[in-house]
Amino acid sequence: MTRQVWFALLALAAGAPLDAQSLMYRPPDLSGTWVSDGGVVQFNFVHRFHVFPGPTNTVINYPTFTLAAGIGHNIDFGLRFGTRSNIPSSGGSSNESEFFARWRVLGGPDGKEGFAVAVTPAYNKLAKSADGEVGIDWTRGPFTLSGAARGMSKPLGASRAKASLGGGVVARVTPYVALSADVGSFVGPTTLAVWGVALNVVIPGSPHTFAFEAGTASLNSIQGNSLGSNDVRYGFEFTIPLHLKRFAPWFHGSPKPVALGTAGGAAVVADVDMAALKYGRDTVTISAAQAVRWTNRDPVEHTVTFDGAEPGSPVIPAHGSYVHRFDRPGTYTYHCTPHPFMKGVVIVK
């Protein structure tokens, strides 16, 4: 598969604005109060592993996949699927499926200061258990405190407790880096507690967040986040939002063209198409007081972002265009913010 095809697949997710679930506002083993926006499908991938000591040094992997779709009105629904569950199963399967819905009863989206409350009913297919969670977040400045109260009709076999509690904190060191930690457990004297720590980062110019994690949670389900293990597991989490409106041109025809920027009376002497995730012309040479027009031929959004002090474009939608006038001689390098591998140069004489 060529490099451009790989970039095209990534761009379907990365070409979206920065409105998606963010790991900057929740610790690793708490769901928080996040609800996917209407028309957004959220895919989260958690991969943790444990390396057993020698002489075998066996590596055991514990992946969990979360897929959630927003339907508006602060409601979404989804599925979590994890392997190597601790739930006893007579059928021999160790794959855990949890179907859930979430309603944010109070509060705004991630990052809004104040309290937020969400209710999450769920059904754990492997445990054949009706589960539920009430999550609470409080955000003030760089800090977010989170809590969760959970209930299960058929809990894990480690104890007969049918409830668990959890709490955590996130500290945002910069707009792009955060530290988080949490702890939780079934309400019972014989169960192992869950703890988790993470280094969370925002991937600049994209809607994705990434976390390096360590902890004792078995899986990222309501029950899995309530029962600890004897092994510390290490890994990562990656969030991928899929904005369905990005696919609209493929199903509903081409949108009406949008013109951005202005030539300021100057002649447009060069056109640059943005197609197949690249600028059609690597270098454009013009004279001072002339203008260049960029036209987006891709189904995802692009920008023309200059590397120096020259002001660039806002987000250019599919079939939109952007015109910029250059008044001073010089070499102006630029790139696309959502797809920084796209680069170009304007030489003004």
Exposure b/e, 83-96, CB count within 10 A at least 16 = b: eebbbeeeeeeeeb
pLDDT band at 91 (very low <50, low <70, confident <90, very high): low
The stretch 289-305 carries a mean pLDDT of: 90
CATH 2.40.160.40 domain range(s) in the chain: 16-244
Give residue 187's pLDDT.
85
CATH 2.60.40.420 domain range(s) in the chain: 257-348
**Any bridge partners for residue 322, and if so which?**
260, 294
The stretch 118-126 carries a mean pLDDT of: 95
Higher-pLDDT residue of 282 and 12 is 282
Task: Judge whether residue 171 has pLDDT over 80.
Answer: yes
The CATH number of the domain covering residues in 257-348: 2.60.40.420
Other residues' Cβ atoms within 10 Å of the Cβ of residue 349 = 9
Give residue 6's pLDDT.
39
The stretch 140-159 carries a mean pLDDT of: 86
pLDDT band at 303 (very low <50, low <70, confident <90, very high): very high
d(CA 178, CA 175): 8
Q: DSSP state, 26?
A: S
The stretch 259-265 carries a mean pLDDT of: 79
d(CA 195, CA 182): 6
Q: Is the four-CA dihedral 336, 341, 342, 346 of positive or negative sign?
A: positive
The mean of the pLDDT values for the chain is 85
Nearest to 100 by CA among 25, 162, 152, 22: 152
In the three-class reduction of DSSP (H, G, I as helix; E, B as strand; rest coil), residue 98 is classed as strand
Give residue 53's pLDDT.
80
Task: Judge whether residue 252 has pLDDT over 50.
Answer: yes
For 13, phi and psi rounded to 5 degrees? Answer: -95, -45
The stretch 317-333 carries a mean pLDDT of: 92
- What fold does the segment set 16-244 form as a domain? Porin (2.40.160)
